Structure 1
Amino acid sequence: MKAVYFLILQAGLSWAGLRFGCSSVSIQRLDPVVEPGQIPSAHVHQIVGGNAFNATMQGDIGEKGTCTTCAYTEDFSNYWTAVMYFRHENGSYKRVPQYPNAQLGYEGQDAPDIKGGMTIYYTQKDFTGNGEQHITAFKPGFRMTVGSPTTTSIANSSVHPGLRYTCLETILTRGYETPDFPNRPCPAGIMAIHHFPACWDGVNLDSPDHQSHMYSTTRGAFQEAGPCPASHPVRVPQLAYETMWNTTAFKDMWPKDGSQPFVWSFMDGKGYGTHADYMFGWQGDSLQRAMDSECMFHMCGSPGMQGILKTQTVADMNKCAVKSTVIEDTDGWLSELPGQTMPM
């Protein structure tokens, strides 16, 4: 990865890129963006971030939490996706465990100690440089979604190049991305990737569909996004999630007919309906401060370097949790997925 620290920082331009781990804060049926106040929500989600997460969230959530599962202590945002399950030939379901990104590391700690969760990115350009555009951080109360559980065809899925899967050969490799679940056992599991739009209308913190206030110029695979249109002129950070699903636990249970056995918690066995939610919760000006800096990835919080953001230990990340509001089994061998009673 090339660095661009030799470039002179120009007034009003941002050169930063964040990449960090967040351990799991909760796994349950709640969705304060799409189904606010509904207990339980329609399907199970895996959530990371601040412990203010609950069924109804309003206002500046960055000021409401007491801890966060993310590496940066000023980030009380919440990030969530559906949960992946293995469907056995006998019709039962088992939640696929998550494992931490082996490419992560900060403050000399080992990322494998992180309790599941996701890798979060806030990039400006791509992995070869940070770009020259001014990046406006999200505002308190901001929220958005990407993708939809109602997407059932590859034709509709193709309009979202930032929603993809990678069949991992090893825990350190990346590779070819597909719009649907890999059709073979993956040696190191499946990585689910969610890239959000990075163009904002500059006015609305949300919209009725949670997407219209944003516009996507994403090209996928962390390629540089296209220019923002006049309707959505404000460039915000390119937010992305990576979730590592340890499907290897089921390698000896692969269906005899060779069919793909993994499903999302809303009973999508193709993978086209993959989606994700985001609720901004960085405290004060911390995210803008990072976007205005010249730090890249773990250097944004490393002592003795830029030190733009405050970090915490993996042990402290793992301590933070949210008490479940919905009491049900989401982890054992289940006869049906929680909230899903109709067969596929």
Structure 2
Amino acid sequence: MRLSKYLALGAVVPSSALVRFHCSQLVVERLDPLVDPGMVPSSHVHQIVGGNAFNATMDPKADLPTESTCTSCQFEDDFSNYWTAVLYFKARNGTYKRVPQLGNNQFEKANGGLTIYYMQDAIYETQQTSKVKAFVPGFRMLTGSPTSRSLASSLPYRQLTYVCMDTWTQRAPETMAFPTRKCKSGIMTSVRFPTCWDGKNLDSPNHMAHVSYPEEGTFESGGPCPASHPVRLGQVMYEVVWDTTIFKDEWDEGDGKQPFVWSMGDGTGFGNHGDYLFGWKGDALQKILDANCHFTSNCTKETGLKLQSIEAMNRCTKKRQVEEDIDGWLDVLPGGYHAEY
């Protein structure tokens, strides 16, 4: 398996057969209802977007569209929850400071958050050519491992990458480790989820076994699903832009060590990971996956689904359940972690 093959595919500019939208920040805190269900606080800090029914347990039988009173996502019918770990800066004196997120390209007014993609076909396709199944209520999954600290241990996840952005529109080259130079427009992380499902289980003990990446190649390259996971799903991808530029005068890139670290202590970048919990209303997501979507414009025309304003997205927030300082200059990362390289 050649890493360069996968990274090159991620650089292709999307044209059609996908929907791209933003979700503003819902809350940043130590909660993780998949890996640490019921634990308050969970092991490390996450940034969460989506429906405000998000909580420490997230009962699989809960009806998220009914239990939520708002969503921080652009589509009014999307009450799903999407979350990742949080990036911190490690200063020369050993203290840590949280790196803020930026609204992605075209969403600069958003309150941080994530940009979400649902792709029906390979991203270089110009027309929708295949049928993919939407997720169903109770479905959840994660990809990546917070304990990975090497390329070898992160390769099974294939497409968890970084772009050192010199411009807002830059999407290549991608790396699986943290960039080692100053990035003029910040660091963008991408999280691409598995696209094959066993067709039976909505979850699994490790939140991964019920889904799979293609048997060979990638979703973008048209790789086939394995026989054990025959149902082809849409590709879910997150993009997060981290404003690392505010620390540009605080470190010397000539020393060979970059200063950024994930909230669980990973200073290599290989621990990049993401969690997904489906919560679209009714058949809204299937309508999108059946349409020949291009970003959001013709998706709304073809499906009748409504978008909310960025101002409305920004208003949907949730009070932290965990009372602790995660934003000041910290001697240790929340949860007791120190940077590991």
Change (3 A) 1:97 1:54: same
What is the distance in 1 between the residues matched to 2:217 and 2:263? Answer: 27
What is the distance in 2 between the residues matched to 1:17 and 1:188? Answer: 25
Instruction: Give, in angstroms, the shift of residue 297 of structure 1.
Output: 1.2
- 1:290–1:308 contact (8 Å) kept in structure 2: no
> Do residues 309 (structure 1) and 310 (structure 2) align?
no
1:186 aligned to which of 177, 183, 192: 183
Residue 104 of structure 2 corresponds to which residue in structure 1? 101
1:294 aligned to which of 282, 292, 295: 292
- 2:75–2:306 contact (8 Å) kept in structure 1: yes
Residue 80 of structure 1 corresponds to which residue in structure 2? 83
Change (3 A) 1:2 1:95: closer
Instruction: Give, in angstroms, the shift of residue 223 of structure 1.
Output: 2.8
Instruction: Give, in angstroms, the shift of residue 186 of structure 1.
Output: 0.8
Change (3 A) 1:342 1:22: closer
Instruction: Classify the secondary structure of the residue corresponding to 2:271.
Output: coil
- 1:301–1:310 contact (8 Å) kept in structure 2: no
Instruction: Give, in angstroms, the shift of residue 301 of structure 1.
Output: 4.6
Residue 271 of structure 1 corresponds to which residue in structure 2? 269
1:118-197 alignment to 2 at 5 Å? 118-129=114-125, 130-197=127-194
Change (3 A) 1:175 1:193: same
Instruction: Give, in angstroms, the shift of residue 153 of structure 1.
Output: 1.1
What is the distance in 1 between the residues matched to 2:14 and 2:27? Answer: 36
- 1:100–1:116 contact (8 Å) kept in structure 2: yes
What is the distance in 1 between the residues matched to 2:95 and 2:87? Answer: 14
> Do residues 25 (structure 1) and 26 (structure 2) align?
yes
1:161-180: CA deviations, max 9, x gaps? 21111110111222100010
Question: Which 4+ runs in 1 deviate beyond 6 A?
Answer: none
What is the distance in 1 between the residues matched to 2:118 and 2:174? Answer: 20
Residue 203 of structure 1 corresponds to which residue in structure 2? 200
1:162-216: CA deviations, max 9, x gaps? 1111110111222100010001111111101100000000000000000000011
Instruction: Give, in angstroms, the shift of residue 306 of structure 1.
Output: 2.5
Indicate the percent of aligned positions where both proteins have the same amino acid.
51
RMSD of Structure 2 on Structure 1 (CA)? 1.8
Instruction: Give, in angstroms, the shift of residue 342 of structure 1.
Output: 5.2
- 1:166–1:177 contact (8 Å) kept in structure 2: yes
Q: Which segments of 5 or more consecutive residues in structure 2 lack a partner in the other structure?
A: 1-12
Change (3 A) 1:150 1:113: same
Change (3 A) 1:196 1:153: same
- 2:263–2:337 contact (8 Å) kept in structure 1: no
Instruction: Classify the secondary structure of the residue corresponding to 2:65.
Output: helix
Residue 258 of structure 2 corresponds to which residue in structure 1? 260
Q: Which segments of 5 or more consecutive residues in structure 1 lack a partner in the other structure?
A: 5-15, 105-110
Residue 285 of structure 1 corresponds to which residue in structure 2? 283
Instruction: Classify the secondary structure of the residue corresponding to 2:32.
Output: coil
**Which has the larger displacement, 263-272 or 56-65?**
56-65
**Which has the larger displacement, 196-205 or 253-262?**
253-262
Instruction: Give, in angstroms, the shift of residue 225 of structure 1.
Output: 4.0
- 2:288–2:303 contact (8 Å) kept in structure 1: no
What is the one-letter code of the residue matched to 1:266? M
What is the one-letter code of the residue matched to 1:198? T
Change (3 A) 1:269 1:191: same
Change (3 A) 1:329 1:219: farther
Residue 63 of structure 1 corresponds to which residue in structure 2? 66
Instruction: Classify the secondary structure of the residue corresponding to 1:306.
Output: helix
Instruction: Classify the secondary structure of the residue corresponding to 1:139.
Output: coil
> Do residues 324 (structure 1) and 320 (structure 2) align?
yes
- 1:301–1:311 contact (8 Å) kept in structure 2: no
Change (3 A) 1:123 1:343: closer
What is the one-letter code of the residue matched to 2:38? G
Instruction: Classify the secondary structure of the residue corresponding to 1:243.
Output: strand
What is the distance in 2 between the residues matched to 1:312 and 1:290? Answer: 16
> Do residues 249 (structure 1) and 246 (structure 2) align?
yes
**Which has the larger displacement, 253-262 or 227-236?**
253-262
2:92 aligned to which of 89, 103, 107: 89
What is the distance in 2 between the residues matched to 1:31 and 1:76? Answer: 17
Instruction: Give, in angstroms, the shift of residue 324 of structure 1.
Output: 0.7
1:217-232 alignment to 2 at 5 Å? 217=214, 223-232=220-229
- 2:194–2:235 contact (8 Å) kept in structure 1: yes
Change (3 A) 1:264 1:292: same
